[in-house]
Amino acid sequence: MRLSFWLFFGVIFVPFLFAQSTGFNYDEAKVPEYTLPDPLVLADGALVKTAKVWETKRRPEVLELFKREMYGRAPGKPANLKFLVFDENKVLKAKAVRKQVEVQFAGKADGPRMTLLIYLPAQVKGPVPTFLTLNFRGNHTVTDDPAIRLPHSWVRGRAKGEAVNNRATEKGRGVAKSRWNVTNILKRGYGLATIYYGDIDPDFDDDWKNGVHALYPKPKADEWGSIATWAWGLSRALDYFEIDKDIDHKRIAVMGHSRLGKTSLWAGAADQRFAMVISNNSGCGGAALSRRAFGETVKRINTSFPHWFNDNFLKYNDNEKACPVDQHMLVALVAPRPVYIASALGDQWADPMGEFLSGMHANPVYQLYGLKGLPASKQPAVDNPVMGTIGYHVRSGKHDVTDYDWEQYLNFADIHFKGKR
Ligand code: GTR
C-alpha cells in the first residue's frame, strides 16, 4: 500500500515538479549560446553607417518588426479625444499645483476614459519638465490626498478592502505612496503625472471588450496587446500636455515599473515625442534580452499574461532565436534620446544582467549620433549608477520602485533636461 502510494506519487508528481523547476534558469553558466540580431544591418544586408540611414531606413524596419511580431500596431489619436480639467488647486502648503484631467477617448463622459493626476512644483516659472508614469492601483494610491478621484474602472485590489467587487474603495488611499516620492520630485523642480493603467485597459484577458478596446475591433495577430494599449494611453496624455502651457511637453520623461516599465520602453519607442524613457525592473518583454532566457521566459510570459503581447509573439515560445528582434533593439529605438534602465539585485526573475546587456548592445546606434550610449563595458557594481545617454544601475533590494531609484532618475533628468553635470 505504502509502496504503491510512493510509486504513484513519484510517477505522477515528481516529473511535474521537475518540469516546473527546470523551466527557469538562474544560472549564468546555463544561459544558452545566442547571437543577437544586429541593429545596424538592414533587411537587404547592407550596413547602416550614418544616423540618417538609421532614421530613414533601419529604424522604420526595426519599429515595424516590433509592431508586427511583439507589441502590436495601435491606432492613432482618436478624432473625438476630449480633455476635461476638473480640478486645479494649490496644494501641499501652496508648494504645488494639483490638476486632475479626465481624458475621454471617444469624447463622451460615459465612454472609455482615463484620469490624469498631475502635481507641478509651484516654485517653477514656465513650463515644467514632467515625469509621466502609469500606476498599478489607482491614482488615489499615490498620495494620501483625499481629493484624488478614485478610479471608475476595474481594480484588482491587493491590500484588504482596497477593492470590493473590483471597485476601488477609500481603503486604498495612499497605499502605494512609498513608490512615488512626490515631495522630492517637486522639490527638484519636476512635475509628476500619473494614470491608473486599468483606466486604459484592465489587466486581464477579457477578449478585448473592456477599456479603450470597446471602441475598436478585436485586435488581429499583429495588432495591439495590452502593453501597446497602455502605451497608447501614455501618448494620449502627451496629446494633453501639448495644450497645457504649464507642462513642458518637449521634456517629458516616461517612466514605468515592471509590466509598466515594458510599457514605458514601448511608449518611448513608438512615440518619439517622449524626450526620455525610464525602465524600472522591466525584465522579460522589457529591457531584458529574450535570447538569454534567464528568469522569466517568452513562453512563460505569454502563458501567464496572454493579453500583454500580440498573437504573433506566441511563435517565439521556446524559440527566442527565431525572433528578428531582441530587446537591445527596443532600447536602440529610443536613440538619440536618453534612456535609463534600472535593475534590482533581488529581482533575478527580471534578469538584471540581460537588462544591462540590452543597454550596452544599443550603443552602436547611439554612436551613429556621436553619443556614448551606456558608458560601461561590464555590469556596474551594485548601487553604482552609470550615466551616459543611456543610464543604468542595479540596486540592492527587491523588485520595487524606491527613493534610491527616483534619486537616479532625477539626477539623470538634471543632466539631460537641465544640462547639469
Ligand atoms: C510578473 C511578471 C513580470 C512583471 C511583473 C509585474 O508576474 O512575470 O514580467 O511584469 O509581474 O509587472 O509586476
pLDDT tens-digit readout, 114-152 = 999 999 999 999 999 999 999 999 999 999 999 999 999
Atom 10, ligand 1: which residue's CA is nearest? 259
Predicted local confidence at residue 13, as pLDDT: 42
CATH of residue 32: 3.40.50.1820
- 96: helix, strand or coil: strand
Predicted local confidence at residue 421, as pLDDT: 80
For 131, the domain range is 3-418
- How are beta strands 390-395 and 386-387 bridged, if at all? antiparallel
**How many whole angstroms from 259 Cα to the centroid of ligand 1?**
6
Predicted local confidence at residue 14, as pLDDT: 38
How many domains does one find in the chain?
A: 1
Share of the chain above pLDDT 70, in %: 95
Q: What is the rounded average pLDDT of the residues 283-304?
A: 98
Is 80 exceeded by the pLDDT of residue 222?
Answer: yes
Confidence of residue 19 (pLDDT cuts 50, 70, 90): very low
Answer yes or no: is the C-beta of 283 below 6 A from any ligand 1 atom: yes
Helices 59-66 & 259-270 angle (0-180, nearest 10): 140
Question: Does 213 participate in catalysis according to the annotation?
Answer: no
**How many whole angstroms from 90 Cα to the centroid of ligand 1?**
36
**How many whole angstroms from 254 Cα to the centroid of ligand 1?**
19
**How many whole angstroms from 258 Cα to the centroid of ligand 1?**
6
Question: Does 399 participate in catalysis according to the annotation?
Answer: yes
Answer yes or no: is the C-beta of 261 below 6 A from any ligand 1 atom: no
User: Looking at 258, 279, 290, 343, which residue is catalytic?
Assistant: 258
For residue 185, the Cα-to-chain-centroid distance in whole angstroms is 19
Q: What is the rounded average pLDDT of the residues 21-47?
A: 92
C-beta of residue 41 within 8 angstroms of C-beta of residue 47: yes
E strand or H helix that includes residue 247: strand 247-257
**Whole-angstrom distance, CA of residue 418 vs CA of residue 326:** 32
Average pLDDT, the chain: 94
**Whole-angstrom distance, CA of residue 383 vs CA of residue 375:** 16
Nearest to 131 by CA among 401, 421, 420: 401
pLDDT digits 0-9 by tens, 23-34? 799 999 999 999
Alpha helices for 179-322 (secondary structure H): 182-187, 197-200, 226-241, 259-270, 298-304
For residue 273, the Cα-to-chain-centroid distance in whole angstroms is 16
**Residues whose CB falls within 8 Å of the CB of residue 6, separated by 6 or more in sequence, listed in order:** none
- Nearest ligand 1 atom to the CA of 296 is 8
Answer yes or no: is the C-beta of 278 below 6 A from any ligand 1 atom: no
Predicted local confidence at residue 155, as pLDDT: 96
Of 15-24, 66-75, 243-252, 362-371, minimum mean pLDDT range:
15-24
Answer yes or no: is the C-beta of 275 below 6 A from any ligand 1 atom: no
* Dihedral, CA of residue 139, residue 144, residue 149 and residue 152, to nearest 10: 60
Answer yes or no: is the C-beta of 287 below 6 A from any ligand 1 atom: no
